[in-house]
Amino acid sequence: MGRAEQPAFRLACGLELRPWCAEDAQVLADACRDPDVQRWNRPGELSLEAARARIGRWEKRWQDEAAAIWAIAEPGATSPVGLIGLSDVDLGGGSAEFLYWLLPGGRGRGAMADAVLRISRWALDDLGLHRLRITHSVANTASCRVAEKAGFTLEGTMRSALLHHDGWHDEHLHARVQGDDWPDLGR
Ligand SMILES: CC(C)(COP(=O)(O)OP(=O)(O)OC[C@H]1O[C@@H](n2cnc3c(N)ncnc32)[C@H](O)[C@@H]1OP(=O)(O)O)[C@@H](O)C(=O)NCCC(=O)NCCS
């Protein structure tokens, strides 16, 4: 993984998944101020300098085979509308966990379920992982739908699992394992 170039993917809605680059730093810093991203992803405040450093760390984490993070953007555009990635990549243990968000401009066209499917196929078929997780606050209905539509089985509820601005939230644990059926998103 780390020695290969990070692959790019095209979604059915026309958006593409590509690595983040230094020019995206302002969008990343601004995204952390989006109320929904703040509420559900809890990224904290990010200065432009810190955003540049974070993008640099993502590149390093790809090389270290620890994470794979993509920008979601119009082809050729320098302004991403979202992020999807796998963190906690454990090549030996065969598992990883999704993280994702979209800015308002990228929402409402089914992009994230499609993106989760594309990355899942790459992670399970090409990278050879065995199990992928999605966790989200039980109050985040849109994220729950994304997980369901991408064929991630709801395995249970983790009590008081994540501290949000308004207190501790229970979290759903969804997962897909090698051999699970692939959903047809109708595209
Ligand atoms: C969650 C998120 C990625 C989904 O974005 P998206 O791909 O544009 O989602 P869509 O608008 O296509 O909706 C996906 C499904 O959720 C449903 N949905 C969307 N918003 C919803 C809401 N507020 N309440 C209930 N359901 C909702 C849609 O109806 C759709 O289901 P359907 O296909 O059965 O109709 C996006 O809303 C987002 O980034 N939100 C803010 C941050 C966040 O929640 N991050 C995830 C942290 S785990």
Give the rounded distance of the alpha carbon of 60 from its chain centre. Answer: 17
Q: Which pLDDT score, from 0 to 100, does residue 86 have?
A: 98
Rg (alpha carbons) of the chain, rounded to whole number: 16
C-beta 164 within 6 A of ligand 1: no
Spans of all domains in the chain: 9-177
- How is residue 168 written in tokens? 């501790």
Q: What is the CATH number of domain 9-177?
A: 3.40.630.30
Pocket test of ligand 1: the residue of 39, 86, 112 to mutate, having most ligand atoms within 8 Å of its CB, is: 112
Q: Which pLDDT score, from 0 to 100, does residue 77 have?
A: 76
Beta strands 16-19; 68-73: pairing state: antiparallel
Report the nearest atom of ligand 1 relative to the CA of 137: 48
Question: Mean pLDDT, 10 residues at a time, over the chain (187 residues)?
Answer: 95 97 96 96 94 97 98 91 98 98 96 98 97 98 98 98 96 98 88
Say if residues 101 and 31 touch (Cβ distance below 8 Å). yes
* Helices (H), ranges, the chain: 25-31, 35-41, 48-63, 111-121, 141-149
Q: Which pLDDT score, from 0 to 100, does residue 187 have?
A: 65
Q: Which pLDDT score, from 0 to 100, does residue 143 have?
A: 98
CA distance 50 to 44: 11
- How is residue 50 written in tokens? 């810190």
